[in-house]
Homo-oligomer: A and B are copies of this chain.
């Protein structure tokens, strides 16, 4: 994404990680924001400003960066309307839709295990 990296261990590991189907997929939705963004867009298409409201403290920069990356990976589709105050809508692509059931299961795991933590400790 930025300046190219050499043949460091960092890069070799990265290659290893993206060669594997599992981590290839995981990387597409890795980081702090991508999963939640995709999940929100799973309900309906949203404008930039609507997304921003969903995450009270996200910086505009972060939101743009994540959306750009998701667009690049063809997980979201970006539509610009040539209107006076600009309007841009984001929605999931078909391949991103396939993540939604996985998110459901992850979410169920999270819910269950957060509950265990509370009663357990």
**CA of A116 to CA of B74 in the docked complex: distance in angstroms?**
12
* Copies of this chain per assembly: 2
**CA of A112 to CA of B23 in the docked complex: distance in angstroms?**
13
Task: List residues of A (4-57) whose CB comes within 8 Å of B's CBs.
Answer: 9, 12-14, 16-17, 20-26, 29-32, 35-36, 39, 55-57
> Are A22 and B106 in contact, with the CB atoms below 8 A?
yes
**CA of A11 to CA of B32 in the docked complex: distance in angstroms?**
12
Assign chain A's interface to a size class.
35 or more
> Are A36 and B58 in contact, with the CB atoms below 8 A?
no
Closest to A106 in B: B25
Residues of B within 8 A of A103 (CB): 22
Report which A residues bind B (CB closer than 8 A): 9, 12-14, 16-17, 20-26, 29-32, 35-36, 39, 55-59, 95, 98-99, 101-103, 105-111, 113-114, 116
